[in-house]
Amino acid sequence: MAKKGLGRGLEAILGDTQALRSGDEGQGPSVAMIPIAELSADPDQPRKRFDDTELSSLSDSIKRQGILQPILVQPKRNGAYIIIAGERRWRAAQRAGIHEVPVLIREGTADSAAELALIENIQRVDLNPIEEADAYARMRDAFGRKPQEIADAVGKSRSHVANMMRLTSLPDSVRSMVTDGRLSMGHARALLSAKEPEKLAARVVKKDLSVRETERLAAGRDASATAEKESAPTAGKKPRASSGSKDADTKALERDLEAALGLTVAIDHQGKAGGEIRIDYETLDQLDDICSRLMRTYI
């Protein structure tokens, strides 16, 4: 699988990364060993949750091999440093009992450091949809970036950025359900059009409704009646599996794909006979984004 590349904007902010790797003097920040107590997390960084199991695993790795990739920091006025990129490594190093950590000290304005931290974290695949949406919104509000500029900086499509930023309008209770994984990205997008998103979100979680069922309810249509109509067999076609007949693994995979794509995904698995995956899109931009993701996998 092709390695995910940096966005053009991140490359511009970081400067000549090849010179950084070579360690040539005058070509960028150099590696230094800094007491771990002198580093602090950026309070505005988008990622708010860190998986405890992953931190423990990384901590064990650091005990055995040390920190292989330096933490990117910027000096503060009090002589300490704020982390631009690498908070997870910093947290794991604390668990490992490490007293000094390798850092790259980067000079610059507070705004440039803050924007770099945002972009670096957006590039990471473990941001949940709400964290990603908030990060895009902050780039827009705090730094005056337009959706296309944000898309160029993080290596995403403009439609993806615009769709993600819409999630910031959801009520806090619904945002929390997305953050802790009870609702997928697809559910969140469907709830944007609901008259009472909080009530519908609670119903979706309680009844374990699919994204398609959520979309129908958000549009004011009866989900069960429409589902029965669609599941009725037609000439030459296999009956489509209803969400209630799907096993937990299939439902979980649907949610994972919806979270990754930001679109409604339906998997109709027919056992040894195979099956099909259906991805619903509304605009040509979304279709272009799907095609780009699929083709990029093989480049």
| Structural Rg of the chain based on CA atoms | 22
The encoded tokens of residue 233 equal 């067999």
Residue 215 falls in the annotated catalytic set: no
Euclidean distance between CA atoms 177 and 105, whole angstroms: 37
Euclidean distance between CA atoms 186 and 189, whole angstroms: 5
Catalytic residue among 11, 25, 38, 87: 87
3-state secondary structure at position 71: strand
Closest CA to 258 of 183, 158, 149: 183
What backbone torsions phi and psi does residue 276 show, to the nearest 5 degrees?
Answer: -150, 155
Euclidean distance between CA atoms 189 and 206, whole angstroms: 18
CB 195 within 8 A of CB 217: no
Tabulate helix, strand, coil % of the chain (nearest 5): 55, 10, 35
Query: For residue 261, what is the enclosing H or E element?
Result: helix 248-261
Residues annotated as catalytic (active site), given as ranges: 87
